[in-house]
Amino acid sequence: MAPKLKKSIINVSQLVSGDIFAKLIGMFVLVFYVRYLPKEYLALLPVYGILTGMSTLIFSFGIFPTLVRSLPSMLKENLDEARAMIFTSSIIILGGAGVFASSVFFLSENVSEILLKSHAHSNLIKGMSVGLFAAGIIRVSDYVLWSSSRFSRMTIIKMTNALMTALITVSLVLILGVKGLILGMVIRDITCAFLSLFFLKDIIFTKSLRLYPARKLLKDSFPFYMEAYLFYFKNQKTTRRGGINLLTIYYYLFLSIFIFTK
């Protein structure tokens, strides 16, 4: 068997095994959530998903597709330039994620009213905002790991995410109720963010970091920016129209489809 074909098979098997493991865990966690969470709190799950998605959408400027397109060859041919691109991209995207997380925190009542049709969950929204920056780190790291063909690391992160959801989040829900749900999701994302950075330490932690030309990066990336918006809002438009009931239904459908068909 040719070395490249063998490597491709190994990479695919690693990703698939991680997906299967996460889906199996997700099935049990879904049963637990449905059994123990009232529907008004079950709706917090897709809300967190919406917010984490938006945290890297608004200020991504189409950079993610540029990383996937440019980094694989750049990491082989010019490691310093690749590091510069990753560093500059991270500053832009994570800086935006920080601004977004801060906005969600200080405007939690408005966010709660828009997404949940009630001010009553504003404190829970504030708790969610703590995890948004960590979710941004995970997303940036995923693209860099993918571009550098570190699929086994991606699988480990995915499995860690699933295990922490099953063990930490479920345990905290039993102890603290809905506050434990938010705390568990935030702890899970912060842990996975640190794990992602650890797997990229040889690339991102170096004394010779420099900036990639931001103007060139944004110019190359901007054609993908509006496409990201269209794709995101196409998937979320029904969620934004409804309140708690629609978000609950959305969660059931989304997670069921994810588990059984993706």
Question: Which has the closest alpha carbon to 67: 156, 148, 153, 154?
Answer: 148
What residues contact residue 48 under an 8 Å CB cut-off, 6+ apart?
A: 128, 131, 182, 185
Reported as a single tens digit per residue, the pLDDT across 128-177 is 999 999 999 999 999 999 888 888 888 889 889 888 888 888 889 889 88
Burial class (CB in 10 A: 0-12, 13-18, 19+), 87: middle
Counted residue by residue, the chain has a size of 262
Top-confidence residue, 22 or 61: 61
Residue 260 reports pLDDT greater than 70: no
pLDDT of res. 30: 78
pLDDT averaged over the chain? Answer: 80
Q: Which two tokens stand for residue 33?
A: 């959530």
Q: Which two tokens stand for residue 139?
A: 């997303």
Top-confidence residue, 217 or 252: 217
* Range of 1-5, 87-91, 113-117 with top mean pLDDT: 87-91
For 199-222, what is the mean pLDDT?
85
pLDDT of res. 126: 92
Grade residue 92 by pLDDT with cuts at 50, 70 and 90: very high
- Residues 26 and 259: their CA atoms lie apart, in Å, by 7
H/E stretch holding 234 = helix 225-241
CA contacts within 13 A on the Cβ side of 145: 25
Q: Evaluate whether 212 touches 88 at the Cβ level (below 8 Å).
A: yes
Query: How far apart, in Å, are the Cα atoms of 173 and each of 15, 165, 183, 187?
Result: 29, 11, 9, 13
Question: Which has the closest alpha carbon to 157: 209, 185, 194?
Answer: 194
Q: Which two tokens stand for residue 221?
A: 């990336």
Q: Evaluate whether 26 touches 258 at the Cβ level (below 8 Å).
A: yes
Grade residue 240 by pLDDT with cuts at 50, 70 and 90: very low
Grade residue 249 by pLDDT with cuts at 50, 70 and 90: very low
Reported as a single tens digit per residue, the pLDDT across 28-56 is 887 788 788 877 787 888 888 888 888 88
Task: Report the chain's terminal Cα–Cα distance, integer Å.
Answer: 29
- Residues 18 and 22: their CA atoms lie apart, in Å, by 6
For 94-101, what is the mean pLDDT?
92
Question: Which has the closest alpha carbon to 109: 124, 131, 130, 97?
Answer: 124
Chain position carrying tokens 């990201």? 228
- Residues 165 and 158: their CA atoms lie apart, in Å, by 11
pLDDT of res. 235: 57
Residue 86 reports pLDDT greater than 50: yes
* Domain ranges within the chain, ordered by starting residue: 48-242
Residue 99 reports pLDDT greater than 90: yes
For 236-240, what is the mean pLDDT?
47
Reported as a single tens digit per residue, the pLDDT across 101-117 is 999 999 999 988 888 88
Torsion of CA 167, 169, 170, 175, to 10 degrees: 110
Residue 258 reports pLDDT greater than 70: no
Residue 257 reports pLDDT greater than 70: no
Grade residue 238 by pLDDT with cuts at 50, 70 and 90: very low
Q: Evaluate whether 192 touches 138 at the Cβ level (below 8 Å).
A: yes
Chain position carrying tokens 């597709």? 65
